[in-house]
Chains A and B, each alone.
Chain A
Amino acid sequence: MKTTLAALLATCAAMPALAAGEIWVTNEKDDTVSVIDVGTLEVVRTIETGERPRGITFSKDFSKLYICASDSDTVQVMDPETGEILYDLPSGEDPEQFVLHPDDRHLYIANEDDAITTVVDTETRQVVAQIDVGIEPEGMAVNKSGSVAITTSETTNMAHWIDTETHELFANTLVDSRPRHAEFIKDDGELWVSAEIGGTISVFETEGQTEIAKIDFEIDGMHPDRVQPVGFEFTEDEKTAFVALGPSNHVAVVNADTYEVEDYILVGRRVWHMAFSPDKSLLFTTNGVSGDVTVIDVESREPIKSIKVGRFPWGAAMRPTTSG
């Protein structure tokens, strides 16, 4: 306890005032969002949402919060200052995960029960397109230039490449079982896709959509079946990836240049997704089964605190605040 506190105090002291911010976490089985203050590492607000909130993301200026309320079949738009739901967006059925296009206007939404990706214009609040993809679409990504969107489908085991101009698929690439999450890095040159049951991350070069690397994970004393990569995030310099490994209760630290795993960090049970603090010095992971958030010190790669949130925390998003 003492060491934890000392580490915590050290971390706090080291944090510049600019780094003030909040981590917003969706609690899938509580129908709430927990707001964690990055400075105090305490839950400062708990806000009610629609049913089964999962995906969560902010608009570019952080004035709006988008929440996938899966069982309410809608994407809710919240004023993060007041916690008030401003309006609902049409989303298609069972929206699970989404991504905001770099134009800050279009949401690409995975409709898990319908094998569809829905594109919604957040200004006109209209559905712009619905694209047929594989079964149980989940992972969503858009590249920096905004030209390509990705949907991964869990049961079809593919990454579907969507041309954002035409809203048509131009490629479908097989990955390992149950792909969950996708991210573009290196100036849109690489696409990473995690496969939960396959236990791997596939790395594609985006020009020809060919696989250039496959990352495996191995934890001492843990059967490979339980090592299930789901959500992941990159550091600012894109040199390091942090990968949530589900029921193995660990987060892997991966060198994004060599594709080698450098470290495993023990976190809470069934770790899902994560978000960095504004200055990227802390990483917050959502632990579905233990109902808490683990705070990782990015520099030392050590877990420094567990924060109790609601039941089955799933998504996480960062919002900087000016008050700190």
Chain B
Amino acid sequence: MLIRLLVVSLAMLAVTPAQPQTKLDIPVIYLRQEVPAPPVLSNLDPIPEDRGIAGAELGLTDNLTTGRFMGHDYKLDLITVPQDGDLRGAAVDALGRSRLLIVDAPAEDLLMIADLPAAEGALIFNAAAPEPVLRGAECRANVFHSLPSLAMRTDALMQFLQKRRWDDLVMVAGVYAVDDAYADALATSATKFGLTVRERKDWVFDADMRRNASQEVPLFTQDFGEYDLLLVADETRDFCRYLAYNTWEARPVAGSEGLEPVTWAPVVEQWGAAQLQNRFRDQAGRSMASRDYAAWAAMRAIGEAVTRTTAADAATLRDFMLSDQFELAGFKGRPLSFRTWNGQLRQPIPLVTRSALVAQAPLEGFLHPVTELDTLGADAPETDCTAFTE
């Protein structure tokens, strides 16, 4: 197990704050389970080594700046567990040192950690697992989610397609479990917004493929017939990049490629986002991606709750985050807050291409009695999460 201590060097300045000071130490641990990335046809989009971590580090810098005026000292420790490492042991160790965890691990690992006796009363932020079930039947009272659920993202896309009246859809899905999950989420969201996924084909071409992907695609999509838009569920980004312009019919592509519903992307620049993007790029040396944003938001949510409550214990912070007092300025045009029924951070979802922000959901016209943000993902009346009401 590799334990790396992040060295935080922010010049503590000799300022004399009039804000009443309560000295507080806020240690946060970023716990990462390393997972193998399956092979893909193209290496154009390498996964950064510090995916997620760099976001938490920027959140730390942001928190420290406020903290120095308040007497609040934040720390961020990183624990990375290799593929065959002892995640349970690492989690017990982490929970012994801090009650505030950001977890970057697959869904089953997240639940294992949340269910540890040592995790009772801790506050765990899920910054990597998008599965709706973690916000539903398998929700945990000690787990908040700064990453949007798959359902929030696919609902966002379907709002847009509905608005454009592209209601006759077909889909191509990859073979991995993540592709299946995304395909299911797309289909569920399509139904929710009154659209039809008329046909789904699986992309099963293996190493025996005689021609390259772009030559296969016209033939592969020929028997879809007429449709409005082609959905693609290929979360490892294996083949999706070869679909656009190669389809038999001249139709747009959305999902894992083309128009993508994302947590965050480098093309988001409205609402002061340009400043966040610049700060991230200066600090990390690359552009900010969805996982980075989720980890940043978790760190900032902790910072915001500590600042407003001048407390650092998990119970006080949790209560405050679930109250209507909590709001996070997340550079998405409106305040972000946590859903009281499942701990999900409610947030707008940008719909982007690789070069532009096309729209941001919730779109105008999708109404909600409380907040339009809750038109994305499972709403209070339909949730099967009970851990938050017990």
Interface residues of A (CB under 8 A from B): 112-113, 115, 132, 134-136, 153-158, 160-161, 168-174, 176-178, 196-199, 209, 223, 225-226, 247
Chain A neighbourhood of B372, CB < 8 A: 223
For B308, the closest partner residue in chain A by CB is A174
Q: How far is it, in angstroms, between the C-alpha of A252 and the C-alpha of B68 when the chains are bound? A: 35
Complex formed: what's the CA distance from A196 to B372 in Å?
19
Is B85 among interface residues, defined by CB-CB distance under 8 A? no
B97 within 8 A of A: no
- B residues within 8 A CB of A112? 275
With A155-B329, A225-B371 known as contacts, the answer to whether A177 contacts B335 (CB < 8 A) is: yes
**Shortest distance between the CB of A31 and any CB in chain B (Å):** 16
Which residues of B lie under 8 Å from residue A113 when comparing CB positions?
A: 275, 278-279, 282
Contacting pair B16 A136 (CB below 8 A): no
- A52 to chain B: closest residue by CB: B274
Residue B62, interface by CB 8 Å = yes
A226 to B360, CA, bound (A): 14
Nearest CB in chain A: distance from B65 CB, A: 5
In the bound complex, residues from chain B placing their C-beta under 8 Å from that of A134 are 65-66, 69
Determine the residue in chain B with the shortest Cβ distance to A209. B18
B171-199 Cβ-contact flags toward A at 8 Å (1 or 0):
00000000000000000000000000000
Report yes or no: B18 in contact with A135, Cβ–Cβ below 8 A.
no
Q: Which residue of B lies closest to A96 (CB)?
A: B275
Residues of A within 8 Å of B272, CB to CB, are: 136, 154, 178
Alpha-carbon gap, A158 to B275, bound state (A)? 17
Contact with A along B3-19 (1 / 0, CB 8 A): 00000000001011111
Q: Could you tell me the distance in whole angstroms from the C-beta of B288 to the nearest C-beta in chain A? A: 15
Contact B18 A170 (CB under 8 A): yes
Q: Can you name 20 A-B residue pairings with CB atoms under 8 Å? A: A113-B275, A113-B282, A134-B65, A154-B272, A156-B62, A157-B66, A157-B304, A158-B19, A160-B69, A161-B18, A169-B15, A169-B16, A172-B17, A172-B19, A172-B69, A172-B70, A197-B335, A199-B335, A225-B334, A247-B333
In the complex, A46→B62 CA distance in Å? 39
Pick from A174, A198, A209: contact of B307, CB below 8 A: A174
Query: Could you say which residues of chain A place their CB within 8 Å of the CB of B327?
Result: 176-177, 197-198
In the complex, besides A156-B69, A197-B335, 18 extra interface pairs with C-beta distance below 8 angstroms are A113-B275, A113-B279, A113-B282, A132-B13, A134-B65, A134-B69, A135-B66, A136-B275, A155-B65, A158-B19, A170-B18, A171-B18, A172-B15, A173-B18, A197-B329, A198-B327, A223-B372, A225-B371
Closest A-chain residue to B333, C-beta based? A247
Q: What is the CB-to-nearest-CB distance from A278 to chain B, in angstroms, rounded to a whole number?
A: 33
Q: Report B181 CB to chain A, min CB distance, Å.
A: 30
A154 to B65, CA, bound (A): 12
Q: Which residues of B contact A157 (CB under 8 A)?
A: 66, 304, 307, 329
- Please tell me if the beta carbons of A197 and B66 are within 8 angstroms of each other in the complex: no
A153 to B327, CA, bound (A): 16
Q: How far is the CA of A110 from the CA of B250 in the complex (A)?
A: 50
Asked whether any CB of chain A lies closer than 8 Å to the CB of B295, the reply is no
The distance in angstroms between the C-alpha atoms of A156 and B329, with both chains bound, is 10
Contact of A172 among B18, B333, B373 (CB under 8 A): B18
Residue of A nearest to B373 (CB): A225
